[in-house]
Amino acid sequence: MQPYYSDELVTLFHGDCRDVMAAMAPASVDAVVTDPPYSAFTHGNAVTNKGSGGAHRAIDFDSMTEEECRVAMAECGRVSRGWVVTTLEWRHAAAFDANPPLGLRMLRVGVWVKNNPTPQISGDRPAQGWEAIAYMHRADVKPTWTGGGRHGNFITNVEQGTGHPTVKPLRMIRQFIEWFVPPVGTVFDPFAGSGTTLRAAMDAGRRAIGVELREDYCESIVRRLAQGTLFGAA
C-alpha cells in the first residue's frame, strides 16, 4: 500500500488498519499509542450541544464490539516491541483487565478526567466526565518506561475546534510517547483519527506510522502536520 502522506518522521496510510497491520512484521514498531472506536452503546449515546440545532449525535463513525477491539489490540501487540497504550471504552478496559487480549498483559488501567466534559443533556444523572486508559504490554517482554514511580492518570481539558469528535489532549499523548517510545523509536497508531499521535510524535522528534480509514480525516491530519509545533495547543 502506498502512503497517503510521508515525510522524514511521519508516514500516514489511508485504508483499513487490519490490512496495514497484516503486512507488518512482528515487533516492527517500538510502541503503539492509539484510540480505537468505542462501543455502540457509547457511540449511540454520545451527544453534544455545541453548534446549532440543539443536542445532536457527537460521533458519526463505526463503533467496535469488545471482540473486535480485542482482536485489534492483539494485533497491535504483535507488531509492537513492547507497549500498547490506548484510551479505551471503560467496559472494554474492564474486560481486558480481567482477560487481556492475546499476547498482552494489562499492567494498569488509568483515567483521563475531563475538566470540561459535555454536560449530561438529559439532566437526569451526572455526566461521565472521564475515559479509561489501558496500559498494556507484550506478555513475553519485560516492561520498561521513563516515568519512574509516577501515576498514569491525567486531568485536563477536552480539546475543541479540531474537526474531530473524539480528539484526545495533545499533551497527554505526547506524554505517552515520551514515556513509552525511545528517542529514536517509532510509534504506531492504527486509528489515527485527528492525527494527535502523529502530531505529538513529530513534536517529540519520534518517527510515527498512522492509519486512518476516512479520507476526510486523512486530509485534516496532513493539514495538522503541516502546521508549526503544536505542543500544548488545541
* Residue 105's CATH number: 3.40.50.150
Please tell me the distance from the alpha carbon of residue 12 to that of residue 192, in angstroms, as a whole number.
8
Instruction: Give the model's pLDDT for residue 159.
Output: 82
Spatial contact of 96 and 64, defined as CB atoms under 8 Å apart: no
Query: Is residue 80 assigned to a domain?
Result: yes
Spatial contact of 169 and 230, defined as CB atoms under 8 Å apart: no
What is the C-alpha R_g of the chain?
17
N- to C-terminal Cα distance for the chain?
Answer: 31
Domain enclosing residue 40, as ranges: 5-226
Mean pLDDT of the chain: 89
Query: Is residue 234 assigned to a domain?
Result: no
What pairs with residue 33 in β-bridges? 85
Number of domains in the chain: 1
Instruction: Give the model's pLDDT for residue 38.
Output: 87
Which of 125, 128, 129, 126 has the alpha carbon at shortest distance from 113?
129
pLDDT band of residue 205 (cuts 50, 70, 90) is: very high
Query: Is residue 232 assigned to a domain?
Result: no
Grid cell at residue 135: 496500559
CA–chain centroid gap for 76, Å, is 12
Class of residue 55 by CB neighbours under 10 A (exposed 0-12, middle 13-18, buried 19+): middle
The set of residues, in sequence order, having a beta carbon less than 8 Å from that of 51 and lying 6+ positions away, is none
Query: Is residue 104 assigned to a domain?
Result: yes
Query: Is residue 218 assigned to a domain?
Result: yes
For 163-188, what is the mean pLDDT? 94
Query: Is residue 233 assigned to a domain?
Result: no
Considering the entire predicted model, what is its pTM?
0.88
Please tell me the distance from the alpha carbon of residue 176 to that of residue 170, in angstroms, as a whole number.
10
The 10s digit of each residue's pLDDT in 87-138 is 999 999 999 999 999 999 999 999 999 998 888 888 899 988 999 999 999 9
Query: Is residue 156 assigned to a domain?
Result: yes
